Amino acid sequence: MKNLITKFLNLEPDDIQNIDVFSQDNQVFALITLTKKFYTCPKCGIPTKRIHDYNQRTISHAILDGIDTTIVYNQRCYFCPSCKKSFIEDSPFVHIGKRISKYTVLRIMKELKNPRMTFSMVASNCHVSVSSVMRVFDEYVGIPTRPLPTILCIDEVYTVKYTQKVYACVLVDFQSNEIYDLLPSRKKHDLANHFTKIDKKYRDQVLYVSIDMWEPYRDIARLYFKNAKVCVDNFHVVKLINYAFTKVRIQVMRQYDVDSDEYYLLKKFSWLLNMKYDDIDLHRRIHIHKNISYFFSKDVLAIDILNFLLNCDCELEIAYALKEAYNDINKRCNSETIEVALNRFIEDMIIFNIEEFNSVVSTFKNWKQEIINSFDIIDHRRISNGPIESVNSRIKLIKRNANGYRNFIRFRKRVLYSLNKNSFINF
């Protein structure tokens, strides 16, 4: 029994002079006195075994799941006969001035590595208070300093409502898919203050900066990363075109009576229009849940529905062709051919002069070079903010499970600690 208990305490049997274990009120108590040893006086260096007094310490020790375990430790206070000073013996259970065992600290930090775990959940598992878990985390979390990545992805994530700075800026390493940093604001002057503090020689090592179409990001990239190509994330470009196409579809749909076949099909099968043409199973039979005069059967081929929708309006057909044209550009173009294809696409939008696409034309002209840059291939991948989307989803998970964070510094450390492999316990 003694050997088992000493194993739980990470001690050798010879280290313990006396131990008494009992349970009370659903708690396990271990009363421990360590073996008496010679100790060297920290003041004068003279060894002594003379005992001045005992200090009884109560230590939380989360060694057993579901069982609140407490160490009651009779810590000796030694007396030095040479310099007349007293000092306490070294404790194998806790760091100086702490009431939570070293093992409990390690367990708390290990559980907090899981993004799904909250401070309150860890506190319950380790039988300590939530505030104790927070203090342990703040003290022992280790976030290493990292150089700026060669390819830097910049995006934002919604954080809190009670401050003016509701969006935090997320910086991710494109190649490692790990978060580089989390900044409290995406505002231009706040980002400028941050990057100004980073030495120019490290900023000059950044070769690509991938962003969405948030103008301050481009301004910051041009100002602080002189050697970097700025790239617009392709997802946001496609989203822009799809949004314009959706506006055209809705405009056409509203031209019809709400009881008409056209209105019903344009609304019900908008997903078919939004799909890439190459992804549609044209021979798939789709069940129509309404009596449609145009069709002879309730089970209709996808290609027939698509053709009917496009024949509803010539402007819708043109908008669809433009949407598919850019999908084709994404699929077949590379860094050498994209500029010519993009210029032709912009010209086509201007020629057809669809009102809903006018803003797309302006955006493409404004962000043309950044769109072209996004077709560069690095490590067999196009430059994009793809890695940041996964990071953002896990950041939102941490925030949602905790019902938000009032302390942004703690929130930042929790994100970096939980999501990065190189974070550590500063033990």
| Full-model pTM | 0.82
**Structural contact between residues 192 and 220, judged by C-beta atoms closer than 8 angstroms:** yes
Q: Which residues of the chain have pLDDT under 70?
A: 1-12, 63-66, 160-165, 293-297
Task: Give pLDDT tens digits for 164-183.
Answer: 568 899 999 999 999 999 99
Q: Tell me, what's the pLDDT at 4?
A: 53
Q: Based on the fold, state whether residues 55 and 183 are members of the same structural domain.
A: no
| The pLDDT value given to residue 117 | 94
Structural domain including 125 reads 102-140
Tell whether the torsion through CA atoms of 199, 205, 210 and 213 is positive or negative: positive
- With beta carbons less than 8 A apart as the criterion, state whether 387 and 153 touch: yes
Q: First and final CA of the chain: distance in angstroms? A: 30
Distance of alpha carbon 281 from alpha carbon 286, whole angstroms: 10
| Tally of domains within the chain | 4
pLDDT in tens, 316-330: 999 999 999 999 999
Residue 79 lies in a domain: yes
The answer to whether residues 370 and 404 belong to one domain is no
Same domain, 238 and 205: no
pLDDT of residue 329: 96
Is residue 120 one of the residues assigned to a domain? Answer: yes
Q: DSSP assignment of 73-131, as one string?
A: EEEEEEE-TTT--EEEPPPSSS-TT-SB-HHHHHHHHHHHTSTT--HHHHHHHHTS-HH
38: left (phi over 0), alpha (psi -120 to 50) or beta: beta
Number of Cβ within 10 Å of residue 316's Cβ equals 21
What tens digit of pLDDT does each residue of 268-294 get? 999 999 999 999 998 898 888 777 765
| Calpha distance 230→292 (Å, rounded) | 50
In this structure, the strands spanning 299-301 and 381-382 are: unpaired
Is the four-CA dihedral 348, 353, 357, 362 of positive or negative sign?
positive
d(CA 78, CA 48): 8
Task: Identify which of 143, 80, 141, 72 has the alpha carbon closest to the alpha carbon of residue 111.
Answer: 141
If asked whether residues 369 and 294 sit together in one domain, one would say yes
Burial state string for 346-383 with b = 16 or more CB within 10 A and e = fewer than 16: eebbeeeebebbeebbebbeebeebbbbbbbeeeeebb
**Tell me, what CATH number does 174's domain have?**
3.30.420.10
User: Is 146 domain-assigned?
Assistant: no
Residues 294, 410, single domain; the answer is no
Q: What is the pLDDT of residue 288?
A: 83
Label residue 283 exposed, middle or buried (CB < 10 Å: 0-12, 13-18, 19+).
exposed
Instruction: Say what the pLDDT of residue 57 is.
Output: 79
Q: Between the CA of residue 28 and those of 92, 123, 127, what are the distances in Å?
A: 19, 17, 12
Q: Is 194 exposed, middle or buried (0-12, 13-18, 19+ CB in 10 A)?
A: middle
Same domain flag for 8 and 84? yes
